Amino acid sequence: MVVATTRQPRRIELFTVPVGSPLRMAPPSNGARPRRGNVPLEEKQRRSWAQTYAETPYNQLPWFSPDPSPSLVRAVDRKWIQPPGPILDIGCGAGTNVLWLSGRGFRATGLDLAPGAIAAAKRRGHRRRSSAAFQEGSVLAMPFRKFAFRAALDNGCFHTLPLAQRGRYAAEVARVVQPGGAFLLTWIGREETRKFGPSHRPSLQEVAAVMEPSFVFVQTEFSDAHSRRGWGAKGHFLARYSALLVRRRSVQPKAR
């Protein structure tokens, strides 16, 4: 049944709100609700993601693609990431990468903060009779046990995080990925200077600063906006980095 409404949909600019924001508000330690007008940033962003998917069909969002990430396809083709997993997609959105992995023999799980994203991913999986799993949750407090995954990927979640939250993100990814496990991280970098794009565009140095204590950078690739290997979105190509990391088996050696 279709219900008519006069409500105008919220305008969404290209990549102003990238898919799969990993933010979730932790309840105050005293159990009290935040005062009206003093809503914490994490709660504001959680509400924004929920509103985005509630007001706009997932396949009309500017970051949606029916095709898997090219960097993920290359990683699987080159056997950097191999089945059966398990593998986690952080900020999975409507589940395209997870469903693609599941169809190639992986035990794949998608995590996203937005209820609408997870609902869409589950519907798509049901239509395909996929074994892929999807779970709502925050990358800052992932609902998974320690070392639950042999591999993980992030195709547009990290660059939604402000600087202050990146350390928490890195710690959580390190917690759920097994030592020796692969982590494929793709983000839009500082080199993308046009107005459309995520609010935060980390440099390679900024990413290394938070990830290197727990991961080794095996390979890093940069594609500028003029390359067809850049980040494709509704006919646009954005400058991006893609890095293959491996979870350290021991503590990072000290500087000398």
Q: What is the pLDDT of residues 21-46, one digit of tens each?
A: 333 323 333 344 444 556 777 788 78
Q: Would you say residue 13 lies in a domain? A: no
Share of the chain above pLDDT 70, in %: 82
Instruction: Give DSSP secondary structure letters for 47-65.
Output: HHHHHHHHHS-GGGSTT--
What local confidence, expressed as pLDDT, does residue 229 receive? 59
| CATH number of the domain within which 223 lies | 3.40.50.150
**Confidence check: pLDDT of 252 > 60:** yes
Lowest mean pLDDT segment, chosen from 113-127, 134-148, 225-239: 225-239
- Mean pLDDT estimate for the chain: 85
pLDDT at 37 (0 to 100): 57
What confidence tens digit (pLDDT) does each residue in 150-202 have?
Answer: 999 999 999 988 888 999 999 999 999 999 999 999 999 999 998 878 889 99
212 occurs within a structural domain: yes
Q: Is pLDDT above 60 for 19?
A: no
- Which pLDDT band holds residue 141 (cuts at 50, 70, 90)? very high
Predicted local distance difference test score (pLDDT) of residue 127: 97
133 Cβ neighbours under 8 A, 6+ residues apart: 108, 109, 110
Domain of 222, in residue numbers: 70-247
User: Are 44 and 17 a contacting pair, CB within 8 Å?
Assistant: no
pLDDT (tens digit per residue) in 45-60: 788 889 999 999 999 9
What residues have CB less than 8 Å from 91, skipping those under 6 apart? 18, 19, 20, 21, 22, 111, 112, 113, 139, 154, 155, 156, 157, 160
Indicate if the pLDDT at residue 72 is higher than 50: yes
211 domain residue, yes or no: yes
To the nearest 10 degrees (0 to 180), the angle between helices 166-176 and 204-211 is 50
Number of domains in the chain: 1
Q: Kindly indicate the confidence band of residue 144, based on its pLDDT and cuts at 50, 70 and 90.
A: very high
Name residue 155's amino acid: N
Mean pLDDT of 132-156: 96
What pLDDT score was predicted for residue 32? 43
Residue 133 lies in a domain: yes
CA dihedral 224, 170, 125, 150 (to 10 degrees): 110
How many CB atoms within 10 Å of residue 12? 15
Q: Is 52 contained in some domain?
A: no
Asked whether residue 60 is assigned to any structural domain, the reply reads no
Local structure of 89: helix, strand or coil: strand
Query: Does 42 map to a domain?
Result: no
Q: Which residues are within 8 A (CB) of 107 and not within 5 positions of it... i.e. 6 or more apart?
A: 84, 85, 86, 87, 131
Task: Tell me the chain's radius of gyration from C-alpha atoms.
Answer: 18
Instruction: Verify cis geometry, omega within 30 degrees of 0, for the bond prior to 86.
Output: yes
Confidence check: pLDDT of 2 > 70: no
The answer as to whether 56 is a domain residue is no
